Amino acid sequence: MDSHIERILFTAEEVAQRVRELGAEISRDYAGKTPLVVGVLKGAVVFLADLVRVLDIPVEMDFIGAASYRNSTESSREVEVYLCPQVKGRDVLIVEDIVDTGWTLARLRKFLLEQGAASVRVCALLDKPSRRETPVEVEYCGFEIPDCFVVGYGLDYAQRYRNLPFIGVIGKTEE
Ligand code: IMP
């Protein structure tokens, strides 16, 4: 194991099991519809790839890009959408790796509705509710986790570790 990984939070098998459960729930809820599954770049790519393969309804796939930074008063985050698919009239399911402060998803949900999406729901693999700064609804959540920095299964630290098959807690790095 990489020496920076302090401990494994969820093994690949535990993640796969939870993804199957989420897939069954989403397939039931969207029966008769063809949702547009929109992954938030880049962290959601691995999760999205596994999730769509356990859905037994027709779906389309696309990606959205968002960059966030603290505003000058530090009281909130500005979230800039730099890539957005055509969503007019679509039932959009946003797929996100992790909800932290909530600013990114709050902005994306509002943005997609403004772009004309018929409905918007959120599926996040991980949620850190104790870190929330703004309320955001997460209709489908994989796991709630405590306030720690996690990597793997698409999640990065400085663009690394996305390819780990499990989700681990990262310790101090001295690079
Ligand atoms: P939010 O806008 O604060 O909710 O930020 C969500 C984004 O922060 C996620 O999409 C991740 O890119 C990043 N993030 C938050 N916590 C972690 C973590 O523990 N590991 C890796 N990325 C994280």
What are the tens digits of pLDDT across the range 112-137? 999 999 999 999 999 999 999 999 99
Separation CA 173–CA 175 (nearest Å): 6
Q: What domains are there in the chain, each with its CATH number?
A: 13-67+79-149 (3.40.50.2020)
Q: Using a 6 Å cutoff on CB, does residue 149 contact ligand 1?
A: yes
Q: Using a 6 Å cutoff on CB, does residue 127 contact ligand 1?
A: no
Distance from Cα 76 to the centre of ligand 1, integer Å: 15
- The helix-helix angle for 45-52 and 12-29 (nearest 10°) equals 60
Average pLDDT of every residue of the chain:
94
- Is residue 2 pLDDT above 70, yes or no? no
Contact between residue 95 and residue 39 where contact means Cβ atoms under 8 Å apart: yes
- Give the predicted TM-score (pTM) of the model: 0.95
pLDDT (0 to 100) of residue 170:
93
Neighbours of 119 (CB within 10 A): 14
Distance from Cα 98 to the centre of ligand 1, integer Å: 5
Residues contacting residue 83 through CB under 8 Å, at least 6 positions apart: 41, 63, 64, 65
User: If DSSP codes are grouped into helix, strand and coil, which group holds residue 21?
Assistant: helix
Catalytic annotation on 29?
Answer: no
Catalytic residue selected from 29, 56, 62, 100: 100
Distance from Cα 120 to the centre of ligand 1, integer Å: 20
- Is residue 71 pLDDT above 90, yes or no? no
Q: State the pLDDT confidence band at 96, using cuts at 50, 70 and 90.
A: very high
- Is residue 173 pLDDT above 80, yes or no? no
